[in-house]
Amino acid sequence: MSTSLHHRAIENLGTRIINGELSAGHVMLAEQLEEELQVSRSVIREAVRVLQSLGLVETIKRVGIRVLPVSSWNPFDQQVIRWRLASEGRGAQLRSLAELRSAVEPAAAELAALNAPAALRRELLDAAHAMRDAGHAGDVPRFLELDIAFHSLLLSGSGNEMFANLMGQVAETLTGRTMHGMMPDHPHEAALQWHVDLAETVSAGDAEGAREASARIMGRTMSRMSGSWVDQPRIFIPVRRTS
């Protein structure tokens, strides 16, 4: 029960901060949150610790729990991504993730063509063909599962551990697009074939072809989603200067 209450408190406060209901600078008191959420002080303390680790709040002695601005949030945390995708800022979050993927995935594809183990190359090819079958069948849950596996394999196959650690963020992006109705039941045939092409170039060790195939996929993704972020403001993080 305590775990459930803890999760509920985190979800409640995290969602409200990210959707702007609790705006930057707003101060909360632990005793008020206890009463509002009907949970114990220990649950509130643990929830606040989690939100602090995400950069959403800070605790100030003799003041309370203060909500921090967007520039303080951890943009790579999967919970933060999920909450942002469920908020009115969905378009801005999708844009940031799409731009990140457009920068990273073609480079990862090129590296995978050069470095990926043979078993991973075969797995990537199998995933691409299975994706095409699931897309033709209109099996949305299966397609999502395979889409996540495909792009995770690509990042992992690069042999770059920093690229590979973006797997969770990519999974949240793909899941969020599907959950919020931004993916068709039957993906475009060209996009399905491009995933097969990408897997084949990686399997063949064609680094240039792999980069081009990945860039083609990401270019189409950017084009299809761009309408969701029209007029969405960008976030500029202040530069932390050392004196």
**Residue type for 88, please?**
E
Residues 4-53 have pLDDT tens digits of 899 999 999 999 999 999 999 999 999 999 999 999 999 999 999 999 99
Residues 212-239 have pLDDT tens digits of 999 999 999 999 999 999 999 999 998 8
pLDDT at 1 over 60: no
User: What is d(CA 148, CA 177) in angstroms, rounded to the nearest whole number?
Assistant: 12
Helix H segments across the chain?
A: 2-18, 30-37, 41-53, 78-85, 90-115, 118-137, 140-157, 161-164, 167-179, 189-204, 207-225
pTM for the full model?
0.91
**Residue type for 141, please?**
P
Q: Which CATH superfamily is domain 78-228 in?
A: GntR ligand-binding domain-like (1.20.120.530)
- Which pLDDT score, from 0 to 100, does residue 45 have? 95
Residues 133-164 have pLDDT tens digits of 999 999 999 999 999 999 999 999 999 999 99
Residues 91/230, Cβ–Cβ less than 8 Å:
yes
Residues 6+ apart with CB under 8 A from 218: 98, 101, 102, 105, 106
Domain 2-72: top CATH class: mainly alpha
Q: Measure the CA dihedral 179/22/96/132, to 10°.
A: -10
Residue boundaries of the structural domains of the chain: 2-72, 78-228
With CA atoms as reference, report the closest residue to 236 among 89, 70, 26.
Answer: 70
Residues 66/57, Cβ–Cβ less than 8 Å:
yes
